[in-house]
Every structure is written in structure tokens, then in C-alpha cells.
């Protein structure tokens, strides 16, 4: 069991089971949504996710057709994103989890649009883009 929360602790959640590998996304939308050079996402099956507090604080923004970004309306913390094409999976922001993760990053996605001021200095696989199949494969490998 893993627990997590937003900055103000108004949104609290639990995730049952082991966490999937972390997906590092360097796309422009993730950079802008996080205010950082990348987003650290963990795919989580909806059946493993439980929202304990803060449902009334959650707001959604459709950043592109079929993709919603969910955030806390009080503190602005990005909580997760979801895609219409993957209705059974959400992507939790790794930094929200309170406990030891027990997982590591698996790859960098959208490095073709990464911030020009950020260097990637690890040996993880790098993809110029990403697609739904890659996200599904990362989730399957972890379960």
C-alpha cells in the first residue's frame, strides 16, 4: 500500500500493490503543467487507486483532445493525468507519494522536445516521442 497527497494535504489517496516503473516525460505540455524540465509519472490501474479525501478539490483540464490533467484546486498540485484511450489507467505524479516507491524510472519520453537547458545524464532508454502502446507496455511490465 502506498499513500500520497497534494501540497496542502487536501487531496489524499492510496495505491494498492507495487508501483509500475516511473515514466519520465519531457514533452512541452508536461513541462508547462509541472513547471519543471519533465514530469515523473507512474501508471496506476484504476482498480488499484483509491481517493480518500479531496474529491471536491479536484479539477480537470483537457490539455489535448482526450487527455485530462487533474489537479488540486486549492494548492495547484498536479495529481494525475488520464487518457480516453486508456480508460483503466491513470498516471500519478511520482512526487506526491509519501512512502518509499520501490520502483525506478524506466525511460525518457519526448526527448525530441525536452528543455534545451536540461541535460539527460543517465543511461535510460530515450524516445523522441511516445505513444499509447509504449505506455501500456510499461504498465504491463510492472504488473
Domains in the chain, ordered, with CATH? 2-142 (2.170.150.70)
Q: Which residues pair with 89 in a beta bridge?
A: 45
Alpha carbon 110 to chain centroid, angstroms? 14
Task: State the pTM of this model.
Answer: 0.84
Distance CA 45, CA 36 (A): 26
Report DSSP letters for 96-122, one per residue: GB-S-----EEEEE-GGG--TT----S
pLDDT at 143 > cutoff 50: no
Can you point out the beta strands (E) in 19-135? 22-25, 39-45, 49-53, 58-64, 67-72, 78-83, 89-93, 105-109
Contact (Cβ atoms closer than 8 angstroms) between residue 31 and residue 118: no
Q: What local confidence, expressed as pLDDT, does residue 61 receive?
A: 95
Going by their DSSP bridges, the two strands 89-93 and 78-83 should be labelled as: antiparallel
Percent of the chain with pLDDT over 90: 87
Confidence class for position 124, pLDDT limits 50, 70, 90:
very high
Strands 39-45 and 22-25 turn out to be antiparallel
Please compute the mean of the pLDDT values over residues 4-16 and round it to a whole number.
97
Is the pLDDT assigned to residue 98 strictly greater than 50?
yes
Number of Cβ within 10 Å of residue 10's Cβ equals 17
Task: Write out pLDDT tens, residues 12-71.
Answer: 999 999 999 999 999 999 999 999 999 999 999 999 999 999 999 999 999 999 999 999
Say yes or no to pLDDT of 131 above 60: no
pLDDT > 70: percent of the chain: 91
Mean pLDDT of 100-122: 93
Amino acid at each position: 500500500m502506498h499513500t500520497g497527497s497534494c501540497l496542502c494535504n487536501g487531496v489524499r489517496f492510496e495505491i494498492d500493490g507495487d508501483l509500475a516503473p516511473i515514466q519520465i516525460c519531457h514533452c512541452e505540455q508536461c513541462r508547462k503543467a509541472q513547471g519543471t524540465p519533465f514530469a515523473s509519472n507512474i501508471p496506476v490501474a484504476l482498480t488499484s487507486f483509491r481517493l480518500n479525501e479531496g474529491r471536491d478539490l479536484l479539477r480537470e483540464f483537457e490539455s489535448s483532445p482526450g487527455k485530462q490533467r487533474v489537479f488540486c484546486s486549492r494548492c495547484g498540485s498536479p495529481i494525475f493525468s488520464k487518457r480516453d484511450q486508456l480508460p483503466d489507467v491513470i498516471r500519478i505524479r511520482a512526487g506526491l507519494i509519501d512512502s518509499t516507491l520501490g520502483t525506478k524510472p524506466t525511460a525518457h519520453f519526448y526527448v525530441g522536445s525536452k528543455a534545451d537547458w536540461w541535460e539527460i545524464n543517465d543511461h535510460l532508454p530515450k524516445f523522441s516521442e511516445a505513444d499509447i502502446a509504449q505506455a501500456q507496455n510499461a504498465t504491463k511490465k510492472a504488473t
